[in-house]
Amino acid sequence: MATLRLGDIAPDFKAETTMGNVSFHEWLGDSWGVLFSHPADFTPVCTTELGTVANYFPEFEKRNTKVIALSVDGLESHLKWIKDIEETQNVTMQYPIIADEDKTVANLYDMIHPNASETFTVRSVFIIGPDKKVKLTLTYPASTGRNFDELLRVIDSLQLTANYSVATPANWKDGDAVVISTSVADHDIPAKFPKGYQQIKTYLRMTPQPNK
Which residue of the set 10, 35, 46, 111 is catalytic? 46
Out of 16-25, 91-100, 117-126, which region has the weakest mean confidence (pLDDT)? 117-126
| Separation CA 63–CA 82 (nearest Å) | 25
| Of the candidates 4, 53, 62, 9, the residue with the CA atom closest to the CA atom of residue 31 | 62
Q: Which CATH architecture has domain 14-146?
A: 3-Layer(aba) Sandwich (3.40)
Out of 87-96, 122-131, 180-189, which region has the weakest mean confidence (pLDDT)? 122-131
Bridge partners, 30 (sequence order) = none
| Domain regions of the chain by residue span | 14-146, 164-207
Question: Which residues are CB-neighbours of 83 under 8 A, at least 6 positions away?
Answer: none
Question: Which residues are CB-neighbours of 50 under 8 A, at least 6 positions away?
Answer: 38, 69, 85, 89, 93, 97
| Of the candidates 108, 99, 94, 36, the residue with the CA atom closest to the CA atom of residue 61 | 94
* pLDDT tens sequence across 31-74: 999 999 988 899 999 999 999 999 999 999 999 999 999 998 99
Asked about 46 being catalytic, the answer comes back as yes
What integer pLDDT is reported at residue 123 of this predicted model?
Answer: 81
* pLDDT tens sequence across 78-114: 999 999 999 999 999 999 999 999 889 988 998 875 5
Q: Is residue 13 exposed (0-12), middle (13-18) or buried (19+ Cβ within 10 Å)?
A: middle
